[in-house]
C-alpha cells in the first residue's frame, strides 16, 4: 500500500488487466466485462460496441454531464503475442521489481487504461462541467479499427468530444504527429512449366522479385523527398517487404508467389502513395513481362489495412490542453502509428500522450516504471481540474 489511494487502485487494476490474455488474435470480452463492472460499481454510464462477429468489443464510459466538448482518454485493450519470447516470468502475471511492473501490456498500454479507470472516483468528486470519457478499443495492434464504431457515433448517439488524448507510451511527452502505416499482400499468379522450357509458362517468383525490386526503387524515391523539420527518424516515408513465399520446386516455373509489405508515410503524404506507385509499375512493366509468353498471368495487391498518420495541428484544443497538463512547451513526433489518426480524420483534435516508453513495448519482460504511473495520475488530476 502507498499513501495514494488512486495509485493503489491503479496497481490493482493493472494487475487485473494484465491477467487477461488479450493478444489481438483472442477475445477481449472478459476484460471488457470486468471494466464494465468497475464502471457500474461507480455509477458511470457505459456503451459497449461489439465487433461484427461478437468476439470483441470496445467500451465508452462517460464521467460528468452528457454534453459535447468533453475529453476522450483513449486506450486499447489488445496486446502483441508472447510466443517465442524469453520471458523471465509468466507474462500475464504482473511482477514488481526495482520500481518496475513487468507483464505483457503493462507499458503498451494497459498502464494508461488502469490510470484512467482508477481516476473515476476523483473525476466524479470533481463535479465536472465538461465530461471526461474513457474509450477502450480492440485490435489496435493489427488494424486500429477497434474504435471506429464508437467514433461514428460521436455527435449522433454519443456526445461529440472536443479533444482526444491517446495514451500510448510517450514518457508523458505530447506527441502531435506520427506516420501512417499501411500493409498489403501482393500475389502473382503464373503458369507452371518445366524450367528447361521457360517459354511454355510464366514464373510467378520472377515477377514477384521484379515487384519487390520496384518497391525498393519506390522507397528510394521517397528518400529524395524527406521531411525537413527534423522531427522524424527516418525523415522520409518508408517501404518494407517483410515476407515472401512461393514456388513448388527448383525446376518448375512457379504457379504462385506472394509477398507482404508495408508503407509508413509521413503525415502529409498520401495514404496510398506506395500502393498507387506499385500498381502503376505492375500494369505497365511487371505484368507485360510476366505474360510475354502467355496471357494467363495476373498480379493482385490486397489492401490489408491503411491507418492514417497524425498531422500536427499547432494550437489545437488537444495540443494546448495536453501541453498545459504536462507543463511543457513543446511537442514531439513519434515513430509508431496509433489510433490517433482515426480520431483526427473524424474531425476531433487529437494528440498522443501517455506513461511509459515505447522502448519497453512488444518485447520480453515488458515493463512500466511505477514513477511513470505516478506521472500519469498527476496528469489526470490536472485534467480533472481543467474540466471542473
Kindly report, residue by residue over 129-161, the tens digit of the pLDDT.
999 999 999 999 999 999 999 999 999 999 999
Are 187 and 322 found together in one domain?
Answer: no
| Helices 111-118 and 370-386, packing angle to 10 deg | 40
Query: If you average pLDDT over every residue of the chain, what do you get?
Result: 97
Please give the average per-residue pLDDT across 38-66, as a whole number. 97
DSSP 200: G
Beta carbons within 8 Å of 209's beta carbon, 6+ residues apart: none
Are 260 and 355 found together in one domain?
Answer: no
Beta carbons within 8 Å of 140's beta carbon, 6+ residues apart: 24, 76, 78, 146, 338, 339
Q: What is the CATH number of the domain that holds 299?
A: 3.30.70.360
Are 148 and 56 found together in one domain?
Answer: yes
Phi, psi values for residue 12, rounded to 5° = -65, -45
Q: What is the CATH number of the domain that holds 339?
A: 3.40.630.10
Choosing from 258, 278, 307, the residue where a domain stops is 307
Are 201 and 288 found together in one domain?
Answer: yes
Are 113 and 21 found together in one domain?
Answer: yes
Are 170 and 186 found together in one domain?
Answer: no
Number of domains in the chain: 2
pLDDT digit string, tens, across residues 112-121: 999 999 999 9
Are 80 and 148 found together in one domain?
Answer: yes
d(CA 12, CA 195): 64
Please give the average per-residue pLDDT across 329-341, as a whole number. 95
d(CA 331, CA 353): 10
C-alpha distance from residue 164 to each of 10, 66, 222, 264 (Å): 21, 16, 31, 23
d(CA 146, CA 148): 6
Categorize the per-residue pLDDT at 2 as very low, low, confident or very high, splitting at 50, 70 and 90. Answer: confident
Choosing from 307, 340, 363, the residue where a domain stops is 307
d(CA 350, CA 332): 13
Predicted confidence at residue 1, as pLDDT, reads: 72
Are 288 and 318 found together in one domain?
Answer: no
pLDDT digit string, tens, across residues 248-306: 999 999 999 999 999 999 999 999 999 999 999 999 999 999 999 999 999 999 999 99
d(CA 261, CA 244): 9
Are 171 and 32 found together in one domain?
Answer: yes
Please give the average per-residue pLDDT across 173-185, as a whole number. 98
Are 244 and 326 found together in one domain?
Answer: no
Choosing from 257, 282, 307, the residue where a domain stops is 307
What domain range is 229 assigned to? 181-307
Are 195 and 300 found together in one domain?
Answer: yes
Are 240 and 333 found together in one domain?
Answer: no
Amino acid at each position: 500500500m502507498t499513501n495514494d489511494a488512486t495509485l493503489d487502485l491503479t496497481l490493482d487494476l493493472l494487475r487485473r488487466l494484465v491477467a487477461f490474455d488479450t493478444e489481438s488474435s483472442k477475445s477481449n470480452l472478459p476484460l471488457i466485462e470486468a471494466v464494465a463492472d468497475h464502471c457500474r460499481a461507480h455509477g458511470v454510464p457505459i456503451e459497449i460496441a461489439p465487433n461484427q462477429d461478437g468476439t470483441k468489443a470496445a467500451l465508452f464510459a462517460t464521467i460528468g454531464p452528457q454534453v459535447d466538448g468533453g475529453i476522450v482518454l483513449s486506450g486499447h485493450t489488445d496486446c502483441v503475442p508472447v510466443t517465442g519470447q524469453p520471458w523471465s516470468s509468466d507474462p500475464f502475471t504482473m511482477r514488481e521489481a526495482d520500481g518496475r511492473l513487468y507483464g505483457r501490456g503493462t507499458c503498451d498500454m494497459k498502464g494508461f487504461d488502469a490510470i484512467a479507470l482508477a481516476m473515476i472516483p476523483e473525476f466524479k468528486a470533481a463535479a465536472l462541467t465538461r465530461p471526461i470519457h474513457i474509450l477502450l478499443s480492440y485490435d489496435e495492434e493489427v488494424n486500429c479499427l477497434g474504435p471506429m464504431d464508437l467514433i461514428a457515433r460521436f455527435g449522433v448517439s454519443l456526445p461529440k468530444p472536443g479533444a482526444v488524448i491517446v495514451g500510448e507510451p510517450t514518457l508523458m511527452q505530447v506527441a502531435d504527429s506520427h506516420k501512417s502505416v499501411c500493409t498489403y499482400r501482393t500475389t502473382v499468379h503464373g503458369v507452371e512449366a518445366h524450367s528447361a522450357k521457360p517459354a511454355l509458362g510464366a514464373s510467378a517468383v520472377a515477377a514477384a522479385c521484379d515487384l519487390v525490386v520496384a518497391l525498393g526503387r519506390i522507397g528510394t524515391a521517397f528518400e529524395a523527398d524527406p521531411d525537413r523539420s527534423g522531427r522524424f527518424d527516418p525523415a522520409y516515408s518508408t517501404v518494407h517487404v517483410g515476407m515472401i513465399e512461393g514456388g513448388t520446386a527448383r525446376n518448375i516455373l512457379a504457379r504462385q508467389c506472394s509477398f507482404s509489405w508495408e508503407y509508413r508515410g509521413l503525415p502529409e503524404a498520401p495514404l496510398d502513395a506506395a500502393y498507387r506507385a506499385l500498381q502503376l509499375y505492375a500494369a505497365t512493366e511487371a505484368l507485360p513481362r510476366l505474360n510475354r509468353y502467355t496471357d494467363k498471368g495476373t498480379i493482385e495487391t490486397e489492401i490489408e489495412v491503411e491507418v492514417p498518420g497524425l498531422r500536427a495541428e499547432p494550437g489545437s484544443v488537444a495540443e494546448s490542453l495536453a501541453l498545459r497538463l504536462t507543463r511543457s512547451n513543446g511537442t514531439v513526433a513519434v515513430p509508431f502509428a496509433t489510433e490517433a489518426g482515426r480520431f483526427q480524420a473524424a474531425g476531433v483534435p487529437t494528440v498522443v500522450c501517455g506513461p511509459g516508453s515505447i522502448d519497453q513495448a512488444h518485447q520480453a519482460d515488458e515493463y512500466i516504471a511505477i514513477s511513470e504511473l505516478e506521472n500519469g495520475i498527476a496528469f489526470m488530476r490536472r485534467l480533472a481540474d481543467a474540466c471542473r
